[in-house]
Chains A and B, each alone.
Chain A
Amino acid sequence: MMEQIITQASSYAAQIDNVIHLIAAIVGVWLAVAFYVFFSFIFKYTRKRHPKAAYITGETHEDGKWVHRAHFVVIACDVVILVFAAMAWHHVKQQLPPAEATIRIVGQQWAWKFTDPGLDNQLDTVDDINTIDELHVKVNTVYHFKLEAKDVLHSFSVPVFRLKQDAIPGRVITGWFKPTKTGEYDIQCAEMCGIGHGVMAAKIVVETPEAHAAWLEQHKSQNITQNIKTKNLKKLAINK
């Protein structure tokens, strides 16, 4: 269901989608039953078909039975949902698999700045590659990201990864992802961050190791210092 609506491009996307499917199935059944009972009462007990209403207090044990029995089923469903939701949560947010590469992501009004560790696979060395609004990653590689914000809250969101994490000024939040499908995908900012929030788009390029190596080679010596401010002003002007 979900994969038809939006591609799954990370190792945990399917797990999150399965939680969604599970909840959809459970609440779908409940909704169907509730609607069935509700509408059948409405059709059956109209003034015309049923002129004299019954007197039922609902306070006796016998009356309450139906409601209370349904209740145990609700609790059972809750437990199932909780278990699967917590498992997905634990996998995505709590237990980080060892990193094969670590990148830095900085959100600021209104651009994403990415730092790739470069050829030595080490952050904060001379061969780091800084890019703006474009992130290149290798497919099937476990990435850790160090997420920061410069000014206000932002939220790093990659829908095809099913990944979302707020960035907070003054903190470094570590998370992970493992891309599983090559291609170009959207990166969004999912937290209101000011007037440019609606243009804070970036792109993630998931590429094969060879393509990634070529990209690294190409950017090795290139010193990318783009003036973020002018770039954004330009962007705003275009979109106005």
Chain B
Amino acid sequence: MTIDHAHDTHHHEEGFFKKYFWSTDHKMIAKQYLFTGMFMGLMGGFFAYALRMQQAFPGKTVPLYGVVTPTLYNALATNHGTIMIFWFAMPVLIAAFGNYLIPLMIGVDDMVFPRINRLSYQVFLLSAIVLIASFFVPGGAFGGAWTAYPPLSANANYNLTPWGASLWLVAVALEFVAFLLGGINFITTFMNSRAPGMKMFDIPMVLWTIIIASILFMASVGPLIAGAIMLLFDQTMSIGFFDPAKGGDPVLWQHLFWFFGHPEVYVVLLPAMGIVAEVITVFARKKLFGYKTVFYTMVGTGALSFVVWAHHQFIAGIDPRMANLFTITTVLISIPIAEMCFVYIATLYKASIEFSTAMLFALAFLAEFFIGGVTGIFLGASGSDIYFHDTYFVVAHFHYTFVPIAIIGVMAGLYFWYPKMFGRMMDEKLGKIHFWGTVISFNCIFIPLFYTGAAGDQRRIYNYQNFPHTNTEFLSDLRTFATISMVSMLLFQIPFLYNFFVSMKKGKVAGKNPWKSNTLEWVADSPPPHGNFKELPEVYRPPYEYSVPGRAQDYWPQNEKA
């Protein structure tokens, strides 16, 4: 049987197209998502570059871009947000890592619905193409913010982007379809085809987080898909679901959007927390502190995240009494989140830490996320949100959650699983340059923006010279400093990209288990062949048995019999 399988994979040499575009292999689909996501992420980064340059040097020609007019500024800001969440964070964190890791870590040969999986990526690719196309239609891309509040988004007379607005909406809806298909596949695979012996609490935390995230996504996105269709009707047929002149209500959209939008934060947060759990346990040679506690806090956070959405709408004209309710639920989220942070810190207690690049990113995730977490309280508390709402304080806060999630967390995962994905090691020296450059630049961007926000800078303003009070020299200097740091952060991705692509050919050969890790993906060859395992593994123990007393080795793979 062993030999047969190996023979099998060598026999069917697929053509280029079939191998790279029509594959049903979960690992190839993961890479498709990864590369598409990385490409879109670079595009989103470039948009941020153009709009930050306009803020620092208003009206000047931006190198590599050109002049940023108010219309373009809005389109860039809108699509920067949309891309970074829907076309970068989600595809990389959930689709790429989920597709790659789920079958390998539960010890099976593929997903249970490989063709649905392929379709999921194809729909996703289509959605990306539609979004990019929206920049080239008459009127240009949609610029009504990533939240797309009507009536602005519903009526071309107001947004002046008759095509852009609809294409944006269609792209987002298609992206949701892709992730619904992917989610069905993930959950089914996870529930039905784990390796023999793998019980619920033997599953590595990262898989739990991806599965909980998929469930959160699927449970929250329904209302927004309905909302998107209603908005599309408003745009194309002037039905007026959100038009007060026709008896509609614009605030309804906000409820539908944020009912999804808040859980979405946890849809991307949880997988990042999961990745970090895998990385810190391996490089600390420690068992994850309180596996079940982590699990329950993740479920608790997920559940709570469904009842906090109106904290985005405190001052949006909802009944002011409602704000009290949503302040309570929002502040309550600090309980499971704080618990998670404590548990991760506790995992480092009496550890034996090796500062590999992956570990540095994982630790930086925690440190930065602490800041992102606590600054959220200023916004979740109704009284202080009156002032901070829609200021740069909000921008700085959520970048202190999303950058750790989508960049720092993702990097921890990429440096960690790269040897498995490509069979070779990445260069640690370049990795450390990348790490310090990225993390220092990141803090230099957003710490000044907390201040400008507190001083009154409101969001989505292309030129603060129009507002005398925020047009001071000091605030302008802070904005310029943030911009320079932003450019520096982008430039520090060059060593990463170089390292990433060159190491595929030139890196040191990794071998099966370079980090001496316990989980099942490290049992397979690097990179794993079609079908993953020569012999499907069996599981005898939980995933984080590191430094078990009385054993010569400080790790104990899940599949090792005794």
A residues in contact (CB < 8 Å) with B = 2, 5-6, 15-17, 19-20, 23-24, 27, 30-31, 34-35, 37-38, 41-42, 45-47, 50-59, 63-64, 66-67, 70-71, 74-75, 78, 81-82, 84-90, 92-94, 109, 151-153, 155, 157, 159-160, 162-171, 173, 185-186, 188-199, 201, 203, 236, 239-240
Say yes or no: A197 contacts B74, CB within 8 Å.
yes
Please indicate the chain A residues that have their CB under 8 angstroms from the CB of B348 in the complex: 38, 41-42, 45
List residues of chain B with CB within 8 A of the CB of A196: 70
Do residues A55 and B349 form an inter-chain contact, with CB atoms below 8 A?
Answer: no
Chain A interface: which of B29-37, B121-129, B145-153, B527-535? B145-153
With beta carbons under 8 angstroms apart, the residue of B291, B335, B456 that contacts A6 is: B456
A198-B454 CB under 8 A given contacts A42-B348, A86-B324, A162-B386: no
Which residue of chain A is the closest to B382 with respect to CB atoms? A89
Please indicate the chain A residues that have their CB under 8 angstroms from the CB of B367 in the complex: 35, 38
Task: List the B side residues contacting A45 at CB < 8 Å.
Answer: 284, 348-353
A63 to B350, CA, bound (A): 13
Contact A193 B343 (CB under 8 A): no
B95 vs chain A, min Cβ distance (A): 29
B152 CB contacts on chain A under 8 angstroms: 152-153, 192-194
Q: Is the Cβ of A16 less than 8 Å from the Cβ of B386?
A: yes
Q: Could you give, for residues 370-385 of chain B, a 1 whenever the CB lies within 8 Å of some chain A CB and a 0 otherwise?
A: 1100110110011110
Whose C-beta in chain A lies nearest to the C-beta of B74?
A: A195
A88 and B383 contact, CB distance less than 8 A = yes
Using known A-B contacts A45-B348, A89-B327, determine if residue A155 contacts B244 with beta carbons closer than 8 Å.
no
**Chain A-chain B contacts (Cβ-Cβ < 8 Å), number:** 299
State the CA gap A78–B351 with chains docked (Å): 31
Closest A residue, CB atoms, query B381: A85
How far does the alpha carbon of A170 sit from the alpha carbon of B335 in the complex, in Å? Answer: 39
Are B383 and A55 within 8 A (Cβ)?
A: no
Q: In the complex, which residues of chain A have a beta carbon less than 8 angstroms from the beta carbon of B355? A: 46
Partner of B158, one of A57, A87, A152, A157: A152
Q: What CA separation (Å) do A37 and B345 show in the bound complex?
A: 8
Identify which of B102-110, B467-475, B481-489 touches chain A: B467-475
Q: How far is the CA of A70 from the CA of B238 in the complex (A)?
A: 54
| Chain B interface residue bracket vs A | 35 or more
- Specify which chain B residues have a CB less than 8 angstroms from the CB of A192 in the assembled complex: 74, 144-145, 147, 149, 152, 459-460
Q: Contact: A6 with B374, CB < 8 Å?
A: no
- Which of B315, B321, B456 is the one whose CB lies under 8 Å from A94? B321
Shortest CB-to-CB span from B200 to chain A, Å, is: 15
Known: A24-B378, A31-B370, A153-B152. 4 other contacts (CB 8 A): A109-B158, A164-B315, A164-B390, A192-B460
A55 with B547: in contact, given A41-B349, A67-B342 (CB under 8 Å)? yes
Chain A residues near B328 (CB-CB < 8 A) = 82
Asked if A173 contacts B317 (CB within 8 A), the reply is yes
Q: Tell yes or no: B426 within 8 A of A by CB.
A: no
Q: Is B354 an interface residue (CB 8 A)?
A: yes
Task: With both chains docked as a complex, state the minimum distance between the C-beta of A82 and any C-beta of chain B, in angstroms.
Answer: 6
- Cα distance A201–B467 in the bound complex, in angstroms: 6
Partner of A42, one of B71, B155, B353: B353
Complex CA–CA separation, A66 to B288 (angstroms): 15
What is the distance, in angstroms, from A201's C-beta to the closest C-beta of chain B?
5
- Residues of A within 8 Å of B286, CB to CB, are 53-54, 56
The answer to whether B352 touches A194, judged by C-beta atoms less than 8 angstroms apart, is no
Most buried by A among B59, B328, B334, B349: B349
What are 24 A-B pairs at a CB distance below 8 A?
A2-B454, A5-B451, A6-B455, A16-B387, A30-B374, A34-B341, A45-B348, A45-B351, A46-B355, A51-B352, A58-B290, A63-B290, A85-B331, A85-B384, A109-B158, A151-B151, A159-B456, A167-B317, A169-B250, A186-B456, A190-B391, A192-B74, A198-B460, A239-B70
Contact of B377 with A81 in the complex, beta carbons under 8 Å: yes
A129 to B470, CA, bound (A): 29
State in angstroms the CA–CA spacing of A17 and B363 once bound together. Answer: 33
